[in-house]
Amino acid sequence: MAKLSILLYPSPIIRKKSAPVTAIDGELQRFIDDMVETMYAAPGMGLAAPQVGALRRVIVLDPSDDRTAHVPIALINPVLVAGEGQIVDEEGCLCIPDLNEPVSRFKHVTVKAYDRNEKEIVLEGADLLARILQHEIDHLDGVLFIDRLSTAKRLLLKRRLRKGAQRSSPS
């Protein structure tokens, strides 16, 4: 396994829509293993393929409280098929370090996807699991959690993030 590099905002790649996976083969299995290793090393609760520069519809997540248990979930071509209720909670992103903002999301979701064994599955999640699923599926469509904020808050943050990116880039 290999730890992958996580792209940072404002990388244009994280804003692109990902293509569906057409084959679950050995290469994809190794890529998923690398994503899982990267997620735990970050440390994060979820990771989407575009965050590591791959425009394919793959996410990995581990919503468990026990960060030593390591029970990752890999979803291929996930689709949010239902959502209900609303809850606002803090959210952050590995692509935008050191930023957490309150984001409104569905409280309960139903997601259809394929697992690593090419089996179609239906995953239902509430609260934190629902939030992680929505956040990572958004990444597959080039959507970041900051896009879910109010217009005024989003503009203010984007300006601040651009200034931060300019300061941290080599001269």
For the chain, the distance separating the N- and C-terminal CA atoms, rounded to the nearest angstrom, is: 34
The type of residue at 35 is M
- The domain limits of the chain are 12-168
**pTM assigned to the model:** 0.93
Q: What's the chain's Rg over C-alpha atoms?
A: 16
Which CATH number is correct for 12-168, 3.40.47.10, 3.30.379.10, 3.10.20.310, 3.90.45.10? 3.90.45.10
Could you report the per-residue pLDDT of 55-82, keeping only the tens digit for each? Answer: 999 999 999 977 778 899 999 999 999 9
CA distance 144 to 8: 11
Tell me which of 115 and 154 has the higher pLDDT.
Answer: 115
Q: Which residues are catalytic?
A: 136
Residue 171 clears pLDDT 50, i.e. is over it = no
> 9-31 burial by CB neighbour count: b if 16+ within 10 A, else e?
beeeebeeebeebeebeeebeeb
For residues 37-55, average pLDDT: 98
For residues 86-100, average pLDDT: 96
